[in-house]
Structure formats: C-alpha cells, structure tokens
Amino acid sequence: MDSHSTLTKTKRIKESPSQKQRQTQTHTQQNKPYTHQLLYERLCPRNLDEVVGEDHLLANNSILCSTIQCKRLPSIILWGPPDTSKTTIAKGIVNSTNSTFYSIVSLSAVTSGVKDVRDVVEDAKKLRCRTNQTIILFVDEVHRFNK
C-alpha cells in the first residue's frame, strides 16, 4: 500500500508540470496577435492593395481608385452573388481612406436595425457641422432591411 501511494504521488507530480506547461502555452498563445481570429480573417485582405482578381475595379485609373485618391467617396452599393468579395472590397475601401479625413461606422443588417442607421446618419450630420469630418457608413448585408 505504501508503494502504491508513492507511485500515485509520483504520477501526480509528473502530471502537474505538463498541466502547467499546457496552461502556460495557452496563455502564451493568447498573447500572440491573431490567436482568436479565424483563418479566413487572418488571410483576408486588409486594404485594396491586397485584393487580387478585381482589376476592373481596382486598377489605378478606375473610377473607384480615383474617387478614393480624391477623397470624394460617393454612395456605393456592391452587388453580386455570395462569396464574390463584396465585403472584402468594402472593408478595403474603408481601410484605404485617410482615417483623419473620415470617421468610419460599420453596421451589419444582421445585428442592427433601420433605427440604428438613422441614428448614425443623425450623428454624422451633427459631426459634419461641428468638425467638417465625413462619415463613412458601411452596412453589411443591407438586403436584410426589407421594409
């Protein structure tokens, strides 16, 4: 019995460091950037320079690029079938703008309602009067606003 309890204690001692190592590894991994992001979020283009395959939209002489360079973004609706990079391009547009010139608000029609959009528009008008700063309102999944 005495040898059994010694064996059990030894076994526990051997298990303990590995548990601590696992906790340390988990803690260390949490401190690394991108640990909590999904793979597609890490690989997704962050600006228009990283977007591939949309040359008709993103060429230097395209209307879209020239409006971004002139700091005159019009209202834009990106329409198309699912998984054709509409959201990626929209986020790229937002990230390619000079953030000191624009204030950016991002909403999703999945989690926001029309009232939220109206509130942002009202706040944008007030901000424009006070600071002459332009608001970029990005609404993802806008087709969900069906009324």
Question: What are 75-86's pLDDT values in tens digits?
Answer: 888 888 888 888
pTM: 0.57
Give residue 88's domain range: 44-97
**DSSP state at residue 135:** E
Q: Which residue has the tokens 């999945």?
A: 110
Can you tell me the mean pLDDT for 125-132?
Answer: 84
Binned at pLDDT 50, 70 and 90, residue 140 comes out as confident
Q: How would residue 22 be classed by pLDDT, with cut points 50, 70 and 90?
A: very low
91 shares a domain with 49: yes
pLDDT at 31 over 80: no
**Same domain, yes or no, for 82 and 116?**
no
For 17, the token pair is: 């460091």
Polymer length in residues for the chain = 147
Say if residue 87 is in the same domain as residue 68: yes
Q: Tell whether 49 and 93 lie within a shared domain.
A: yes
Q: What is the pLDDT of residue 7?
A: 37
50 plus 83 within the same structural domain: yes
- The CA-CA-CA angle for residues 117, 121, 122, to 5°, reads 120
**Domain co-membership, 12 together with 32:** yes
Give residue 52's pLDDT band: very low, low, confident or very high (50, 70, 90).
confident
Q: How confident is the prediction for the chain on average, in pLDDT?
A: 72
For residues 55 and 83, membership in a common domain is answered with: yes
Q: For the chain, what percent of residues have pLDDT higher than 70? A: 71
Which DSSP string do the residues of 45-80 spell out, in sequence order?
-SSGGG--S-HHHHSTTSHHHHHHHTT---------
> Are 32 and 56 in the same domain?
no
Shared-domain flag, residues 48 and 86: yes
The total domain count for the chain is 3
Using CA atoms, how far residue 74 sits from 15, 66, 70, 100, 118, in Å, is 62, 11, 11, 18, 18
Measured CA to CA, the distance from residue 147 to residue 143 in angstroms comes to: 10
Same domain (yes/no): 147, 103: yes
Sign of the dihedral defined by the CA atoms of residues 67, 72, 74, 76, in that order: positive
